[in-house]
């Protein structure tokens, strides 16, 4: 996205004002340029709406650019998230066929393994040449928990950028950089959002602000979205060809006997992403001010070095942190904001926002433009459940 300058706020105001003159034009503003806002803008525009996307910092600058990008068909079965996840897993397959050639964002089916590792001396024997030769650390209890039929991955930042580029180039979505300061309501109905003190007019507004959702009183008066901070590193191993497509879900015991549950995802780019080390702490206003904690990053390097000799001494590409947006009941919040016409919300996707972005966006587009979501029942995610 950095290659194409976003139109100025004034340009967007003018463009939308002139659209308003067109017969029956639906002007929709999606606020938040993370995966949820981008997917929503994409599906709204694909259905013919005139869409603006407002982002205060940079596209996919927060969790949507720093996540693992792991996707699972059936890991949410048995919870309210099950149907959303299944629909979204299928949509990822369709989107990859439509948009991912030639390897724009690295969609690929892969295997997933559950393993226990220990740093404690002689706790477990080193399994050499086991399921895959690069996993050569002290491992125990290895089981397959996902196969290429049920698990896959994308590079989340490249996915978000590719989808937004398609939304803009194919369907005319306009990107505006600026902070949404408030949602303007008149007579019980939305009339736009205030950005830099100016009204951007809209018939409908979607608030996809991730862990910043509570900054708007319209939302914080109904529910609470908190941010859980998590860390990640991206490594470039010396011999990327040795690293097979296996996502690793670890139970990891440190030398001090502390148990943690990091995850390791090799990517088709040849990089290896390692994440974990979460904590509850205040979300800074500016996403660019989210900095990783030194000890947490150091722990992830220890994990990488223990799991594989190929990751020991690997080139370090990223050391970063970001926030999972979480609701009070642990489920996403998607749908109409109660007591005000034309305002919708999509947030609190916790650790499954990359997976569930497409079905969230597609369902919201149906709800907003057709009055009802058919791809998946949004009722379990209704913001009204908190009233
Ligand atoms: C370490 C880690 C690993 C993860 N791994 C996976 C995974 O493997 N698979 C998976 O499915 N999910 C994963 N997730 C979860 C996923 O990343 C999130 O659920 C998802 O990115 C949330 O997207 P979002 O668009 O809601 O929020 P965000 O990505 O936080 O985006 C919100 C955007 O809104 C903007 N914004 C905020 N306030 C304003 C305002 N007032 N005006 C304008 N813009 C504003 C912000 O700048 C930001 O760009 C992971 C998360 C973490 C932290």
How confident is the model over 151-178, as pLDDT tens digits?
A: 999 999 999 999 999 999 999 999 999 9
Ligand 1 atom closest to residue 354's alpha carbon, by position in its atom list: 11
Distance 63 CA to ligand 1 centre (A): 4
- HEC readout, the chain: CCCCCCCCHHHHHHHHHHHHHCCCCCEEEEECCCHHHHHHHHHHHHCCCEEEEEECCCCCCCHHHHCCCEEECCCCCCCCCHHHHHHHHHHHHHHHHHHCCCCCCCCEECEEEEEEEECCCCCCCECCCCCCCCCCCEEEEEEEEECCCCEEECCHHHHHHHHHHHHHHHHCCEEEECCEEEEEEECCEEEEEEECCEEEECCEEEECCHHHHHHCHHHHCCCCEEEEEEEEEEEECCCHHHCCCEEEEEEEECCCCCEECCEEEECCCCCEEEEEEEEECCCCCCHHHCCCCHHHHHHHHHHHHHHCCCCCCCEEEEEEEEEEEEECCCCCEEEECCCCECEEEEECCHHHHHHHHHHHHHHHHHHHHHCCCCCCCCHHHCHHHHC
Distance 334 CA to ligand 1 centre (A): 15
- 277-291 pLDDT tens trace: 999 999 999 999 999
Of 212, 278, 296, 330, the one to substitute when testing ligand 1's pocket (max ligand atoms within 8 A of C-beta) is: 212
Longest dimension (CA), the chain: 74
Residue 21 has pLDDT above 60, yes or no: no
Mean pLDDT calculated for residue range 93-110:
90
Higher pLDDT, 287 or 10: 287
- 309-356 pLDDT tens trace: 999 999 999 999 999 999 999 999 999 999 999 999 999 999 999 999
Domain extent listing, the chain: 9-66+156-213+331-386, 111-147+227-327
Higher pLDDT, 100 or 228: 228
Ligand 1 pocket, residue 68 CB under 6 Å: yes
Ligand 1 pocket, residue 303 CB under 6 Å: no
Distance 348 CA to ligand 1 centre (A): 9
Give the span between the Cα atoms of 46 and 384, in whole angstroms. Answer: 28
Ligand 1 pocket, residue 354 CB under 6 Å: yes
- 176-218 pLDDT tens trace: 999 999 999 999 999 999 999 999 999 999 999 999 999 999 9
Residue 369 has pLDDT above 60, yes or no: yes
Q: Pull the structure tokens for residue 43.
A: 């599906």
Mean pLDDT calculated for residue range 88-102:
92
Mean pLDDT calculated for residue range 359-376:
97
Ligand 1 atom closest to residue 59's alpha carbon, by position in its atom list: 49
Instruction: Look at phi and psi of residue 350 and say left if phi exceeds 0, alpha if psi is from -120 to 50, else beta.
Output: left
Ligand 1 atom closest to residue 35's alpha carbon, by position in its atom list: 25
Mean pLDDT calculated for residue range 227-254:
96
The answer to whether the CB of 321 falls within 8 A of the CB of 229 is: yes
- 111-155 pLDDT tens trace: 999 999 988 876 666 554 467 889 988 887 788 999 999 999 999
Give the span between the Cα atoms of 99 and 162, in whole angstroms. Answer: 7
The answer to whether the CB of 295 falls within 8 A of the CB of 302 is: no
- 25-49 pLDDT tens trace: 489 999 999 999 999 999 999 999 9
The answer to whether the CB of 206 falls within 8 A of the CB of 212 is: no
CATH match for 9-66+156-213+331-386 among 3.90.180.10, 3.10.20.30, 3.50.50.60, 3.30.460.80: 3.50.50.60
Residue 16 has pLDDT above 70, yes or no: no
Read off φ and ψ for residue 354, nearest 5 degrees.
-70, -45
Ligand 1 pocket, residue 292 CB under 6 Å: no
Using pLDDT thresholds of 50, 70 and 90, give the confidence band for residue 7. very low
Mean pLDDT calculated for residue range 252-263:
94
CATH match for 111-147+227-327 among 3.30.9.10, 3.40.50.1010, 3.50.50.60, 3.40.50.2300: 3.30.9.10
Pairing type for strands 343-347 and 333-336 reads antiparallel
The answer to whether the CB of 356 falls within 8 A of the CB of 69 is: no
Task: Give the model's pLDDT for residue 24.
Answer: 40
| Average pLDDT of the chain to the nearest whole number | 91
Distance 155 CA to ligand 1 centre (A): 14
Q: Pull the structure tokens for residue 379.
A: 């009722």
Distances, alpha carbon 194 to alpha carbons 208, 236, 340, in Å:
16, 43, 17
Of 9, 29, 30, 34, the one to substitute when testing ligand 1's pocket (max ligand atoms within 8 A of C-beta) is: 34
């Amino acid at each position: 996205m950095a290659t194409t300058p976003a139109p100025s706020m004034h340009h967007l105001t003018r463009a939308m004002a002139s659209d308003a003159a067109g017969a029956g034009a639906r002007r929709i503003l999606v606020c938040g340029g993370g995966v949820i806002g981008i997917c929503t803008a994409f599906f709204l525009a694909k259905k013919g709406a005139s869409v603006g996307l407002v982002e205060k910092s940079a596209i996919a600058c927060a969790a949507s650019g720093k996540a693992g990008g792991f996707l699972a068909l059936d890991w949410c079965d048995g919870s309210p998230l099950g149907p959303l996840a299944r629909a979204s897993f299928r949509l990822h397959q369709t989107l990859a066929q439509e948009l991912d050639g030639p390897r724009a964002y690295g969609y690929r089916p892969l295997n997933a393994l559950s393993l226990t590792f220990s740093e404690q001396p002689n706790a477990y024997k080193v399994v050499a040449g086991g399921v895959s030769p690069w996993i050569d650390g002290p491992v125990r209890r290895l089981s397959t928990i996902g196969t290429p039929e049920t698990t896959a991955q994308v590079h989340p930042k490249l996915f978000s950028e590719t989808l937004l580029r398609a939304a803009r180039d194919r369907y005319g979505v306009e990107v505006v950089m600026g902070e949404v300061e408030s949602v303007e309501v008149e007579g019980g109905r939305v009339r736009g959002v205030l950005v830099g003190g100016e009204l951007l007019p809209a018939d409908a507004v979607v608030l996809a602000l991730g862990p910043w959702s509570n900054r708007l009183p319209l939302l914080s008066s109904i529910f609470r979205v908190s941010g859980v901070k998590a860390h990640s590193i991206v490594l470039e191993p010396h011999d990327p060809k040795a690293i097979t497509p296996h996502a690793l879900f670890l139970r990891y015991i440190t030398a001090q006997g502390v148990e943690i549950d990091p995850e390791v995802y090799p990517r088709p780019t040849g990089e290896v992403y390692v994440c974990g080390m979460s904590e509850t702490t205040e979300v800074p206003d500016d996403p660019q001010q989210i900095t990783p904690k030194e000890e947490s990053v150091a722990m992830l390097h220890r994990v990488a070095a223990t799991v594989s000799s190929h990751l020991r001494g690997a080139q370090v590409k990223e050391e970063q942190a970001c926030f999972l947006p979480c609701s009070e009941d642990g489920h996403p919040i998607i749908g109409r904001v109660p007591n005000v016409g034309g305002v919708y919300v999509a947030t609190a996707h916790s650790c499954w926002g990359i997976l569930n972005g497409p079905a969230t966006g597609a369902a919201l587009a149906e709800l907003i433009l057709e009055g009802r979501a058919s791809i998946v029942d949004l009722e379990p995610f209704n913001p009204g459940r908190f009233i």
